[in-house]
Chain A
Amino acid sequence: MKKQYFNPDDLKKFGDITEHQKELGEKFFEYYGSVFKDGALTMREKSLIALAVAHTIQCPYCIDAFTTGSLENGSDEEEMMEAVHVAAAIRGGASLVYSVQMMEHAKKMSM
């Protein structure tokens, strides 16, 4: 079989990260579990945020996990795609806003 950097089955082994650093690993999962509980934001809203972030950081594991999470919490494709567009807009905007610098510099350099 062709070797790949990303193996979908690795997601199931995420819990194993406690193996070489039990205390920190367990603290992370406890924190992670608390973050995704219903709070001021619902689990549904948090899953959509996580889905958008997953696209921004381009984490294939996170995309799988929070597509499932969003569906489980009742979101549909329309809402999920809108969440991804929010991520894309911020990412694109972050590039485009630098064009102000480009325009200013071009202006300075030009007659």
Chain B
Amino acid sequence: MGVKQRTKSLKAKKSQLSDTFYQLKVLKKGIEPGNSEGFTPFDQKLDEHNLQSLRPDGIEIFQLNIGKLCNQTCSHCHVDAGPDKGDEMMTREDLETCLEIIEKHKIPTVDITGGAPEMHSEFRWFVSECYKLGAEVMARCNLTIIVANKKYHDIPEFYRDHKVKVVSSLPHFSEKRTNSQRGDGVFEDSIKALKMLNEVGYGKEDTGLTLDLVYNPTGAYLPGSQATLEREFKRKLKRKFDVVFNNLYAITNQPISRFLEYLIHTDQYESYMEKLINAFNPATIEGLMCKYTLSVSWDGYIYDCDFNQMLDLKVDAPGQHISEFAPKTLLERKIITGQHCYACTAGAGSSCGGEISE
């Protein structure tokens, strides 16, 4: 049926929030001067729990945002991706540099994200090259792209042939809740795409083809237990649609970009921040993704995580661009933190791989 756009990008709306400085100001100072000065700064919270500043443990995952072009404009998107972002795509030259880094430094996992990464003209070539290097490739697929156009219909077979681990967003097993976040028609097309992935073996036992789903709340609340949600998703998707998958990752919405806009617009920013801060769990710190991941933007800059990337907080180390990649100094850096980090440390924690601590 095709997907209707849920909203417009912040950039297209010429929103003040499209400016990362403004987002950082809101996170630090609140919406109006003085109204959230009372929120404990994240670093102070670490101190209160006798925790050190965050430092990396290694580089196990190279997460590449190869472009912000997307066929959807989801209302919570922290990337501010959309159909109008075709000018923010990684160049072939930078993709080649990434391949050199993956090969030279034997980075085990390449996590490719976007936008809809499949819309990048060099996507298939890049995945094939990573596969040849023996890296595990993860693709963050929004599902609907598979049915959006004939040229993407063979993506499931392409993924299967390159043993790509597929990580797909599906915020709910209910059509209404999924579409309210991602746009009308998204649920129906997502189910079609999941069936196509199942048909080539994804999500099925003994195929070695992994299909993981990403759940994130469709509103200003935290995700519940990942195990409970996974059980329910498996039961409902199997019963209603005969769809199967492997694991469900429960991810907390970050109070940045379009979700921040939603929070401000619905007057829930303060209460959401309060919720995150009250749910701070020191047991999540050791498992935070920034400790073993590097995030690279479409223009080749390096960040501690995808969220720092969207706030334009480049790594605090010399050699901030992939063209000057220096793993030794990167491993010695201090990870940049801020109020948005409360989203990754709330409750059971949240990372690109879901819950951190049960």
User: Hey, which bits of chain A sit against chain B, CB under 8 A?
Assistant: 38, 42-44, 68-69, 71-74, 76-78
Interface size on B, residues (CB 8 A): 19
Q: Are B232 and A74 in contact (CB under 8 A)?
A: yes
The stretch from B135-143, B220-228, B239-247, B289-297 touching chain A is: B220-228
Say yes or no for B215: interface residue by CB 8 A criterion. yes
Residues from chain B with a CB closer than 8 A to the CB of A38 are 225, 227-228
Q: Are A74 and B221 in contact (CB under 8 A)?
A: no
B28-85 contacts to A, CB under 8 A, are none
Q: Are A42 and B174 in contact (CB under 8 A)?
A: no
Say whether chain A's binding surface is mostly helix, strand, loop, or mixed: helix
Say yes or no for B333: interface residue by CB 8 A criterion. no
User: Cα distance A68–B279 when bound, in Å?
Assistant: 14
15 of the cross-chain contacts (CB-CB < 8 Å) are A38-B228, A42-B231, A42-B232, A43-B228, A44-B229, A44-B232, A69-B224, A71-B217, A71-B221, A73-B224, A74-B172, A74-B228, A74-B229, A76-B172, A78-B176
Say yes or no for B177: interface residue by CB 8 A criterion. yes
The contact of A73 among B174, B177, B225, by CB within 8 Å, is B225
User: Hey, which bits of chain B sit against chain A, CB under 8 A?
Assistant: 172-174, 176-177, 215, 217, 219, 221-225, 227-229, 231-233
Which single residue of chain B is at the shortest CB-CB distance from A79?
B174
- The answer to whether A76 and B176 touch (CB under 8 A), given A44-B232, A71-B217, is yes
Which single residue of chain B is at the shortest CB-CB distance from A72?
B224
Which single residue of chain B is at the shortest CB-CB distance from A70?
B224
Which single residue of chain B is at the shortest CB-CB distance from A77?
B176
User: Cα distance A38–B215 when bound, in Å?
Assistant: 19
- The answer to whether A72 and B222 touch (CB under 8 A), given A38-B228, A42-B228, A42-B231, is yes
Q: Are A43 and B176 in contact (CB under 8 A)?
A: no
Residues from chain A with a CB closer than 8 A to the CB of B227 are 38
